[in-house]
A = this chain, B = another copy of it.
Amino acid sequence: MPERSIGPVTARRFVCAEPITLAAGVTLPGWELAYETYGTLNAARSNAVLICHALSGHHHVAGYYTDAPKNIGWWDNLIGPGKPLDTNRFFVVGVNNLGGCHGSTGPSSLNPATGEPWGADFPVVTVSDWVRAQAKLADALGIESWAAVVGGSLGGMQALQWTIDLPERVRHALVIAAAPRLTAENIAFNDVARQAIITDPEFHGGNFYRHNVRPTRGLRLARMLGHITYLSDDQMAEKFGRKRRPSAGSYGFGVEFEIESYLRYQGDKFAGWFDANTYLLMTKALDYFDPAEAHGGDLATALAAARAKFLVVAFTTDWRFSPARSREIVNALVKNKHAVSYSEITSPHGHDAFLMDDHYYHTVLAAYLRNVET
């Protein structure tokens, strides 16, 4: 067992018989969320921390499965006994979002009306939908308010949305490598990824399940493209540069440069397991996220009702959601005189930095979380 690991964990199911009507106007008659918990909920039920995942994340955030010891949670470097998010103090909850493909109700789940996978009929979900579903899970766990809601990227957007939609239920929000809304360029990258999937002949309009195929070509391209935006230009230059593969032929279209090998490997790996419809839904939730929109574009007004204290973290080389985007959030919070700490971490790792075990970054999170009362 790795040092300070939370150790073996078990995925759980929260089954909700109460229907939920989503922003898209569609009602899911019954639904469920896959989740995990680490640490112990205290008697006052006041030490719970919610971890929100990003585009391709899920509820398996820390620890490992006994029957799959190499399947370690995606934020395991952050969460565990003695780690920055210390499970000796906190009761940590990881959850797979609605629309996901890791056990929560999503496009590959059976639609009770037809007995077949939802496929293209699964409704578009929004960040606010996720917050409402996560709140139902909190109810079921007896958690009235979260000590903290924590997330990076799309997960940070959920943390922010929690403070707006359910202000009394969040005491601290840790909004990491996020943005208050996507730019046209962000949306453009998402749309290319979506078009890659949708125009893959094996997508079958989203109903590929019944054809027993998967749009792996499109998913692979989407992931390759995504990876370019997750890394920094400098890091790519340092890690790959113009290096050739030792075995590479030349004057052809096989793998030749190391960067091609890396991207194609990442694309193939991802295409092998991720659900194409979930990918579409997650990117659309990103595109729609814009809490200021209902307030004439004014983010400060949108955040006026928030009651949480905030830690906003950005990374210098993140060009997907640059520090300038995080500062928009900080400025809107400051305008409201909300308590906010802001940390801009010098990191070469681009957007992916939020997942990395960076000493300074983890020190900042640990210091902030040490002052979060349980």
Q: A interface vs B, CB < 8 Å?
A: 23-25, 123-124, 181-185, 187-189, 191-192, 194-196, 198-201, 217, 220-221, 224-225, 227-228, 231, 233, 236-237, 239-242, 250-253, 256-260, 263-264, 267, 280, 284, 287, 290, 293
Contact = CB atoms under 8 A, between A and B. Distances in A.
Nearest to A283: B253
- Secondary structure at chain A's binding surface: helix, strand, loop or mixed? helix
Contact of A195 (B189, B198, B221, B252): B221
Nearest to A181: B242
B224 A195 contact: yes
A183 B237 CA distance: 6
Contacts of A287: 256-257
A237 B192 contact: no
A293 B24 CA distance: 55
Number of copies: 2
Nearest to A125: B251
A263 B123 contact: no
A196 B196 contact: yes
Contacts of A267: 195
A284 B242 contact: no
Contacts of A194: 253
A184 B237 contact: yes
Contacts of A184: 233, 236-237, 239-242, 257-259
A97 B154 CA distance: 45
B124 A191 contact: no
A236 B188 contact: yes
B280 A253 contact: yes
Nearest to A194: B253
A316 to B, nearest CB: 16
Contacts of A258: 184
A197 to B, nearest CB: 9
A240 B23 CA distance: 25
